[in-house]
Amino acid sequence: MPGMEESEKQLTKKIRPYKIIYPILIGLGVVSYMLYKEFDLSAFQQITFTRTSVWWLLVAVLCMVVRDLGYIIRIRILSGGRLTWVKAIRIIFLWEFTSAVTPSAIGGTSLAILFVNKEGIKVGRSSAMVMATSFLDELYFILMFPIILLSVSQSALWNMPGVGQGISTSLVWFAVGGYSVKLAYLSILSYGLFKNPRGLKYLLMKCFKLKLLRKWRHSAHEAGSDIIRNSYELRRKPFSFWLKTFGATFFSWTARYWVVNALLMAFWAGRYDWPAQFLIFARQLVMWIMMLVSPTPGGSGFAEFVFKEYLGEFLPGAGVAIAMAILWRLITYYPYLFAGVLIVPKWVNRHFGSRKGKEPASDIKS
C-alpha cells in the first residue's frame, strides 16, 4: 500500500540518530545557558534530600505511570478489546516517541494510524480510533481551561513576581493562541464527525483549490474521506463508550499535571498549602497549551524556559527552578525518547522488514 510505505519512510526518518539527539541538545543547551546566567549557590543550599523526598519522587513517577495507563486503557476501549495489553502498551510508547521528536503542534498523530493498523486493527477502525483520541484530548483542554480561569485568581494565574511585563504578556498570548487553535480544531472536528462529514469534506476541497494550498489537495481529500468513514464508525457509539474513554483521558492528563506538584513536595513539603498546589496545577495546564505553538521537537528548550518563568516564583531561586525543570523533563519527556530508541527499530523491522505479509484491509468503505 503506497500510503503505508510513505508512513514507513516518515517513521524511519524520525528514528535517525540526529532526530533523537536534536531535542536533547536543544533542551540541554537552553537550560545550560539559563543556569550560566542564573546560578545561585545559596538557593541550591536550601534543597534538602530526605526520606520524604524519595516518597514524593516515587509519587511523581507514579503519576506518569497513571498517565500512561490511562492512555493504554483508553486505546483498548477504543479498539473494542481487539488490542491486547502488550499491543496497547507498544502503541502508546511508539506514539509518545514520535510526539517527542516532532514539534508540539504536529505531535505523533500523523503516524498513529500506522501504529494501530500494524498491530492488527483494520485501516478504517485505526483511523477512527486515532481521530477519537484526538477529539478526547482536545475536549479535555477545551473544558479544563475555562474551569481553571474561573477557579483561580487571574492576577495569581498570570502575574509572576520577578518576571518582566513583556514576558508575562507574551506567555498570555501563547496560551490564548494555543487555546484558540485547539478550540478551532475541536469545533471543525466535531462538526465533521458528528454533524456533517460530507459537508466538511466539500469545504476542505474548496479551500484547497486555492493556489497557496493546492499542493496539499490530495492530502485534504484523504483527510475528508477519513472523516466520513470515522463519522460512520463513531456516531454509533453509546454514551457509556464516550464516558469511559473521556474518564481515561481525564485521569491521564490530570495525573501528568500533578508531576510538578509531587516534585516540589519532594524538597519543600511544608511550603505549599492547597491553594498554592492548585495554582501550580493550573499553571501547568496553561503551560501545555502554550507548548502547542512551540516549533521545537517535543517543546524542547521552550518547555524548560516556560517552566522557569511561569513556575519560578514557587521555588527558592531561578537556578533552582531551572534544575527542577531538568528533573521534570527527565520524568515526563526523556523516558519516551529512550524507550523509542529501544522499541521503534525492532518494531519497524518486524512490520516492514518483509513485504510478504499483506496489510489489513479497510473495514469501512469511503
Cβ partners under 8 Å of residue 32, min gap 6 = none
* Ramachandran angles phi, psi of 103, nearest 5°: -55, 145
| Closest listed residue to residue 160, CA positions, set 42, 46, 315, 289 | 315
CB 111, CB 3: distance < 8 Å: no
SS (H, E, C) 79-144: CCCCCCHHHHHHHHHHHHHHHHCCECCCCCHHHHHHHHHHCCCCHHHHHHHHHHHHHHHHHHHHHH
| Closest listed residue to residue 347, CA positions, set 43, 30, 111, 33 | 111
Determine the 3-state secondary structure of 34 from DSSP. helix
- Higher-scoring residue by pLDDT: 348, 150: 150
State the chain's mean pLDDT as an integer.
80
Position 278 pLDDT exceeds 80: yes
Position 1 pLDDT exceeds 60: no
Q: What is the pTM of this model?
A: 0.82
Give pLDDT tens digits for 155-200: 888 877 666 677 677 777 878 888 888 898 899 888 888 888 888 7
How far apart CA 280 and CA 271 sit, in angstroms, is 13
Assigned C-alpha cell, 222: 484523504
pLDDT of residue 37: 63
How far apart CA 242 and CA 194 sit, in angstroms, is 13
How far apart CA 317 and CA 242 sit, in angstroms, is 44
How far apart CA 306 and CA 325 sit, in angstroms, is 9
What are the start-end ranges of the E strands in 273-326? none
pLDDT of residue 77: 94
Give pLDDT tens digits for 93-146: 989 888 888 776 555 566 788 888 888 888 778 878 888 898 999 999 999 989
Place of cell 513517577: 61
Where along the chain do its domains lie? 2-352
CB 108, CB 99: distance < 8 Å: yes
Q: Which residue(s) pair with 297 in the sheet?
A: 103
| Closest listed residue to residue 67, CA positions, set 310, 301, 342, 257 | 257
Most confident by average pLDDT, 47-51, 58-62, 204-208: 58-62
How far apart CA 82 and CA 88 sit, in angstroms, is 10
Give pLDDT tens digits for 323-345: 888 889 889 988 888 888 888 87
